[in-house]
Structure 1
């Protein structure tokens, strides 16, 4: 073939031509957007855009460079594969042999023109030697060349590039596979190793489109398989798996196309900003309050991503097996055999002939140290048998018997359940679990889908069996070790959220499901009832601890009456801790650890046979004061001085505080020697919190001032106890955590708080809360507050449920102060974007709030907290 001329006799693209090209690209994009709204396939539209842009790029190249030897332009990345989503970058590689200055200027002009006409161009200019050297050093560069497609320029340069890609010395199969898996692991780590984030990345997250691209790259380099169909031919996929991957890819591409149109830019994250609009754009509608259209939309994503992630992992294992030397066949029981690090069934038809073997091979894996998985053929046969048997597995007695044997393994069974879920087997045995597969809840509290959360709860339960967890979960490990039937707790974990999204109370619906399945499973009747009870009451312990005063014996005894026995108490404690951590890692902290442990300890005491009723108040006050006095005497304080201080303490101090708190507060008062206002801060006090004690002449607005200072210093109030002495002194206690870390604070932070609050209390004017805007996430989850009043003896209880925002408690305190309301007690609970706060209130005469004050307070709070004020 004759060589092309070396010269570059081109003048570029005129202003008028550029305007025409911009108009052309705009017309194409508008036409494609209209076609998408009318239901056209996203993949087809992405290819059409790719073809249109390729023609424009080739035209600009010819205008700037013409027919030139030794230089060619290649599309790489998604553009190289022929796909361009509405706002995707146009990735280009110019391959040029020893380009002279004139040619480089022409290339610069070409790329500048492409930018000028509205294309987001990512480009590189390399000579063949540079290209080869970079590809040899960086697997990602080499991978980009696999998709390279010539758009314009010297055809012979295509052969030059092919020679680099086909060079067996560059990234041989083993090295390439290792590099791709390392890249996958690093990429997934950025997304918490799960596809189930609240704002997932469609492209790079686990189970995203990059996972499918990676499968094709590995297939091309390792097995000469250019696409999924070729991978079926090579035995790396079966036709059913190919179909699942293609359907999932179609969903992900559809969502990505819609996201680009909605965002108007190359956004790859399904941010809250877009989720509702995308759901509406794609035709999802609310079914009821617990199955919103946006939740259905996100479930479509999670299901597709989960399928891609699951099969991506399995196909990667098949590549690894393909490159491994076959191991010696070692029998594993009567039905299975081990080849090196992988298990297989001896009889290829075993899973079809005897469905229980589907569970038994997972049990066998538990007993084989060093086994990393199943052979490729076995994985395929597991999938095929699971699909063929379908829902019949849920009623097969032998399958259920094998499943129960697995659960009775205790903690080790959890890893097997995770693997069974990856193979689709868990949902086949538990059809109700399949219904929550990919189900999300549209809030900031539940950061995982229901199925992912459930499996994380099971893993958290298994941690209690690990000696390494003793330091972090000493009580949990102690309780787990005493469990006679760990399968009861694992089943409760499996079923506790299984009825989410159906409408109605998921705890009651889940209880019905659990009782029916456990009966079919063959569990003893007492264990069936225990599982059902745990599912029904799985929220009881957390709500009691966070919403009620567990220092009140009446609260503990009411809780104990429901729990009934110590074994159920222990199981409920373990399930509660595992559930909180599995809902969001940010929810667990030392405060909640101690709070639940205190409720557990108090309830266990109450369940003793010789303790039927709360002890009388006088005895409780004596017990607390005697212990506190002993602590103070050990510190060198005189008994007479202590008694003098205590003469001003209300009885509630000794009923609601621990002896250690009483001793610390008393010591602070004695050391202050009458100076007020007194502010003392204990960096690490009860329940893993920082304790603030304020002793100062009582005045209206004091609670508002303290909370405003705490807000300005970024402290979260977990609990507030507002007491008054007989001589008019405020004796207020606040349990705090750092707002950012949700941990107790350092000594330096404690000292800063003490000094700032001391100054604020010494001033007559109150402190206003700081003004901070809501986070991007909070703005998308605004709700009208729900506020209710209830009689509580000589006080009025206010229950406030609403949307969290910066400075909320301080703002509420300001409203209460301005409406003439005094705060005597506060319990603060935050669940993602939602707050559930409870206050004990009186008017300024220490009387319960009458109807008029309640109405004024209600209106003021709604005006301050409503979505419109955001």
Structure 2
């Protein structure tokens, strides 16, 4: 039989067999004795782990394995007759001798069918003793034939490959090995192909990157499972699970073995500590444990890096090295199975290289003789971008030669020119990615090596700095492809206007290179960029452009998300800083690539349209000339004329259009887009002045519609609590407000416009649903509309931002009364905006504009508000609002 033994729990008679004759001293093998012994061992091992940062982690794992071995054997002897035809093996990680504090204890009992039936009661006693002792035991009872059948499942075979005898003679050991031998199941070639595909799918399941905010130490890319997979492949293909023996047969270099073993021990130490901190079987470095584990491992905060960031950087670097060496060894296993392929020479300027099984390789056995040959490799690779990758022998030679790659400061002019040619050649971003992954870029630009694996302990930056930088470069490569991407509505149109695209690549490479040094990373990075560009021989104008882009890479994002880009003064100030079309083109593309490369969830339709609108408005301002800034009246006239033409094109008469425009607030023509004004005006058709109308439409920027994002227009008689009720309803619909513009129209009507995106893109509400729900809300009493109560997500609990509330008063122009700007920075949470709106309502304040920005766990919202009489808030009102907001933010434990 397989799986759990019949009669999982022994009866009282069997339990008495393991009871101690002396109540004060539990009998060996009894649950009490096992529990006491292992508790003492675990406490001692934890103390050794904490007290000695240099303790050999392998010795700790071996000590725990030995302790468990002793107790499992004791329970076996207490329950199983010595003459019973049963054999006991440790399998899986336990069989490998890697038993972490909370690891499962996997056991295999080998017995023929007759013995399984005869010994069922005794086996039940054995397993029950271990369970009663609190051990996380998994077990199977199989005959040799059943082992062969079960091994058809690759994971079962993998566990049995590392079977280690606990109570098994030589005959049983040979029987088990014969039952799962390649001649019986999973020959070497099929095993390798299946395990390689399993590894690929596992990497994809965990995001295909080791750089997640909460990485999985065991299953994630570059984690412990990758190292174990190499052991299993070696065992099946070569016949040894000892990687050291691969050195003698040329499958693994001594330096590769040293690196792999060092990083395995680093990962093991992290996992051991994680089990101690979590006190349960936990393989993922969750936020709940990161700070505690960093402290337990002895990391200390410093001026530039938090202790947790230091720990995580160590993990990311270890994972990257495991991936790098694992990729080489997989190639060598493939060659071991398939045999050497016939090399195919590359022609022309790349004749120093050839293809071996579609991997690029150096033909010279002494390659590389100097750094120029290293750069020649990446140029050849980029020119033949379709190949599978770098041949393992050449990859090893490259790793051994890294120390001979100089920094750009020390390099000869000819080598610098080679690097610039790579940037100007085919697939430059792919070349930079490969240089980064293989360690060359960090040697060439030492500042890049310092941000390799560097994470920031927040929810905004999903990737490490180096991985984020490469993501930005990949986005730029998409823009360069010439293929329109609906996520970036005009990027493919802007890219062809770049004079020297390599300058934008350099700006992307350097924009975050100074993270973690203290000070303003934009300014420090600008200094780095200037030194690099001037040293590389770029002209002063090109150097100045790259430097400016690095220093100002946040300018466009901040302007678009925190200021009213419909305000001509905002556009004029931004255009003055940009100064010309060339700077605008580069900054727009860099900003799009930067935001989209920060987190897969950060880029959305609203940001796309916002940046496209800012780009377009600034381009027009530059064309007009900065000495001729557009006035509000001129802007309104242009918008009115364009919107009228749109309505006329759909058959509206001039008198009808004039009547519709008369019902709209004049400031709307200054702040709105022509298409928006036309849409809102058309929405007013057929309703009386006191009626309510809600319209919603998909957001589109320059013709590109984005699923889920909506623009919502609300026209309704004004009354207290209206804004709060709308916000609460949108929140309940699962829509996050990105921007709100609240305008007062003629005869007490409101003209509110909301830009919203779904919180769950998989289930976005339709425009019809939004219209129906909002109209139903506004048809009834607003007092009953309350914010939804939802639990705070787990990860947000680990990030607390002290609320910052700032007031500023201004009188924009004669068309607007004096208002107060409320700036709020705090920890984000579900329903935050709805609660803030409710607080403003209770204070009897009016909202005229809201700009909502969320950066991971950080919410940065700006509101324009007045009191109930349309006046700016005085000091007493500001203090009352401050107190109410703090009570709302700090008193809510959700």
TM-score normalised by structure 2 residue count: 0.92
- 2:31 is matched with 18
Deviations 1:624-655 (A, max 9, x none): 22333343345455544443443343221111
Distance 1:81 1:743, change over 3 A: closer
Shift of 1:398: 3.5
* Cα distance in 2 between the residues matched to 1:338 and 1:645: 70
* 1:754 match: secondary structure: helix
Matched, 1:312 2:326: yes
Match of 1:300 in 2: 314
Secondary structure of 1:395's counterpart equals: coil
Q: Deviations over 1:187-231 (max 9, x none)?
A: 111111000000000000001011111111122222234323222
Partner residue, 1:265: 280
* Alignment-derived partner of residue 496 in structure 2: 481
Superposition map of 1:158-173 within 5 A: 158-168=173-183, 170-173=185-188
Query: Which of 118, 124, 134 is matched with 1:102 structurally?
Result: 118
Q: In structure 2, do the counterparts of structure 1 residues 671 and 181 end up closer, same or farther at CA, with 3 Å as the change threshold?
A: same
| Residue 682 to residue 391, structure 1, CA distance change in 2 (3 Å) | closer
SS at match of 1:337: strand
Superposition map of 1:228-627 within 5 A: 228-288=243-303, 290-322=304-336, 323-332=338-347, 333-351=350-368, 353-368=369-384, 370-389=386-405, 391=407, 395-409=411-425, 412-473=427-488, 475-608=490-623, 610=625, 612-627=627-642
CA distance in 2, matches of 1:505, 1:840: 29
Q: Which runs of 4+ in 1 moved over 6 A?
A: 8-11
- Is contact 2:471–2:597 with CA below 8 Å preserved after alignment? yes
Q: 1:324 to 1:475 in 2, by over 3 A?
A: farther
Q: Structure 1 stretches of 5 or more lacking a match?
A: 1-7
Contact 2:480 2:492 in 1 (8 A): yes
Asked if 1:190 corresponds to 2:205, the answer is: yes
**Shift in Å at residue 60 of structure 1?**
1.2
CA distances 1:511-550 after superposition (whole Å, capped 9, x unpaired) = 1111111222222222211111111111111111111111
Offset from partner CA, 1:93-122 (integer Å, 9 cap, x none):
112112342312322322122111111011
- Distance in structure 2 (CA, Å) of the matches to 1:169 and 1:779: 53
Work out the CA distance in 2 between the residues paired with 1:618 and 1:369.
55
State the distance in 1 between where 2:351 and 2:712 align: 66
Question: Residues 787 and 831 of structure 2 are in contact (CA less than 8 Å); yes or no, is this contact kept in structure 1?
Answer: yes
Aligned match of 2:5? none
1:813 aligns with 2:837: yes
Q: Secondary structure at the match of 1:125?
A: strand
**Conserved 8 A contact 2:88-2:165:** yes
Contact 1:784 1:867 in 2 (8 A): no
Deviation at 1:840, TM superposition (A): 0.9
Which position in structure 1 is the counterpart of 2:731?
711
Corresponding residue number in structure 2 for 1:3? none
Judge which range, 89-98 or 739-748, deviates more: 739-748
Write the distance in 1 (CA, Å) between the matches of 2:75 and 2:285.
35
Q: Specify which of 815, 830, 842 is matched with residue 854 of structure 2.
A: 830
Aligned residue for 1:456, secondary structure, equals helix
In 1, distance between residues paired with 2:727 and 2:18?
A: 66
Partner SS state of residue 201, structure 1: coil
Query: 1:262: Cα distance to partner?
Result: 0.8
Alignment correspondent of 1:681? 696
Contact 2:147/2:180, CA 8 A, preserved across alignment: no
Q: Which residue, out of 717, 738, 742, partners 1:722?
A: 742
Deviation of 1:391 (Å)? 4.9
Matches within 5 A, 1:57-136: 57-68=72-83, 70-98=85-113, 99-135=115-151
The TM-score, its normalising length taken from structure 1, stands at 0.94
Separation (CA, whole Å) in 1 of partners of 2:823 and 2:188:
63
After superposition, the CA RMSD in angstroms is 2.4
**Aligned counterparts of 1:582 and 1:765: Cα–Cα separation in 2:** 42
Partner of 1:779: 797
Q: Distance in 2 between matches of 1:299 and 1:442?
A: 11
- Number of equivalent positions: 857
Shift of the 696–482 alpha-carbon distance from structure 1 to 2, 3 Å rule, reads: closer
- Provide, for residues 666-705 of structure 1, a one-character-per-residue CA deviation record: whole Å limited to 9, x for no partner: 2333322345333333354678542222222322322122
| Corresponding residue number in structure 2 for 1:857 | 881
- Report if the CA contact (8 A) 1:65-1:106 is conserved: yes
Q: Is the 1:589–1:743 contact (alpha carbons within 8 Å) kept by the matching residues of 2?
A: no
Residue from 767, 777, 785 that aligns with 2:785: 767
Cα pair 1:797 1:838 within 8 Å, conserved = yes
More divergent stretch after superposition (835-844 vs 785-794): 785-794
